[in-house]
Amino acid sequence: MSFKIKRVSSFYSIFYIIKLNNKIIFIDSGTPSEKRRIEKLNIKPDYVFITHGHWDHIGCVSYLKKSGAKVFIHEKDYEFVKKGIIDLPPSKGSLYSNFVYFLLKFLKNFARFEKFDKDAIELHNLGLKIFETPGHTPGSCTFKIGNNYFIGDTLIGPNPFIKRPRISLFVRNKKELKKTLDFLFELDGRFYPGHGPSFTSELLKKSKDFIWRELKEKN
């Protein structure tokens, strides 16, 4: 399987451009402001796979679709996307996440994105698998290519201060997220989140107790 990953860090989130078996795939698309950067890259993808329907991940989908790309998004997230709704799940409860939540709650009044239609995509021979991994949003998905897992905002990557993956600042459904985490903890490979650097399954397993405590503290 021929496979290359290009990580693109946008203003707020990360999206990935993948060459897979002579096909160009976007996983997420950043905020609407990333349109100019994508234009400069002069890349016309065959497919766009959306991990979840938040503004900072779907911002350029409409633009990419106009170039001929087929778009996958889970039906449960498409329900609010097709209505033009800017979804914001509840804060996970920490002081920082509460602060960011109220800031984003105000800013989302000014956020916009172009609505788009989703497509039926035939995965046969594409080399990509889709797993439903709800919790952050009802329709969050993980995409597997080889031993690489693109997980959206289910977990955030490490940073210089917190050197391990952790739960997103916002969680829609704690019980669903617990089931998703049980699934992710059993995987082997590398994880590519929508925020922060990638990390290994070894680091994820070492962070398991910390993540469970973090989830338990979210009430």
Q: Name the residue range of residue 128's domain.
A: 3-217
**How many structural domains compose the chain?**
1
Convert the pLDDT of each residue in 123-176 to its tens digit.
878 899 999 999 999 999 999 999 999 999 999 999 989 999 999 999 999 999
Decide: pTM greater than 0.85: yes
pLDDT at residue number 196: 95
Report the CATH number that the domain containing residue 174 is assigned in CATH. Answer: 3.60.15.10
> Is the pLDDT confidence value at 1 over 80?
no
Reference 20, options 124, 125, 121, 127; nearest CA is 127
Reference 53, options 115, 128, 120; nearest CA is 115
Q: How far apart are CA 12 and CA 21, in angstroms?
A: 29
Mean pLDDT of the chain: 92
